Every structure is written in structure tokens, then in C-alpha cells.
Structure 1
């Protein structure tokens, strides 16, 4: 599965995804150019690990409406972003290996 990760990764989610055999691409910034360069049009999952970039969810869904959006971060999403998100996981409740396995 092609996964694009946006945000800091203190929980080492990228490594867990790669260990499960997922193709992981990192977009340092979740803006249109960054997401397009990371291959958002062909991605299956958009994984956000930093709530500060929650607005990038709208950009990602605009570029690829079929994306499955997963947020793996502490905190809460703004209402507009939560309506476009398929799954929100708090890293304090579930580790990166379990999330990567379920994807």
C-alpha cells in the first residue's frame, strides 16, 4: 500500500509502516506542491502525524478524493478536518506497530 506521511514522526510510524511492507513517502509540508511531489495522486493512505498541519487533510482529499485519511497524533482535529478523516489514533493508546499492521 502506498502511504504518504506528513508531520514529525516521534513515534517512528514510518519505520513501522515500512516493516509491514508499505511503500512510505514523506512530504515535509502538506501543501499542494509538497503532496504532489510525494505522489498524492497515486497514494492509498494519507497519514498525518502532526495536528499543526491538519489543514493539509483538505488539500490531500481535494487532490485524491479516494484517500483513506489517518491521523496518528495527540490532540484534537478542527471540525472541518475531522469530517474528512477516516481514523484518528492517539499514540498514547495504540503503538505504531499495531496501527501499521491494521492498515
Structure 2
């Protein structure tokens, strides 16, 4: 008797799992980025921006980009054109989100209040 028998197991393809994980992280990052962009450009309340968690945000965006890259690499070996397009779109949008976050962080350097 196998140990897996009593458990319900679900095996998903690796490329789909990686791409969906990167898209979920991208949606979280997009929400935070839009909030920061609103507070920077429209309301100009810099105390409500996500300055304390900049390192965590950039690290998780790099992780999301890496997952999208792995998903795109795995999907190039398949014959599914829809999955290839979805994975490459996820890769490009993750790169654009990282570049946008990096530019916003560079623009807001003078508004930071660093406390050591």
C-alpha cells in the first residue's frame, strides 16, 4: 500500500504552475505599485508609500521574474502556442513591473526618511 493512496494528489504541469505563480505575484505587485504611484503623483502623501518594505518588494519581484522566466523556458519545449504566449507575456510584464518599481524607487529617493 502506497502512502499516497489515502491522500488526494493533484499533479500540475511545471510550466503552468510556474507561470500562474508569477502572475499571482505580479497581481500583488501591481496593486502595491498602483497604490505607491497614486500616493506619489496624485495625493503626494509620501508617508503612505511602501518605503519600509522596499527590499522585500524588490526581492519578491525578482522571484516573480525568475518564476516567469522558468515558466517561459519550460513552455518553449511544448507545442502549446497559447501557453508559450501566456508565459512570454508574463515574463515581459514582470520585467516591466520590476523596471517601473525600480524607476519609482529612484524618483522617490529624496522623499525617504531613513532611520537607522
* Normalised-by-shorter TM-score class: under 0.3
Between Structure 1 and Structure 2, which shows a larger proportion of strand residues?
A: 1
Structure 2 length-normalised TM: 0.24
Higher relative CO (Cα under 8 Å, sequence separation at least 6) belongs to 2
Structure 1 length-normalised TM: 0.26
Between Structure 1 and Structure 2, which shows a larger proportion of helix residues?
A: 2
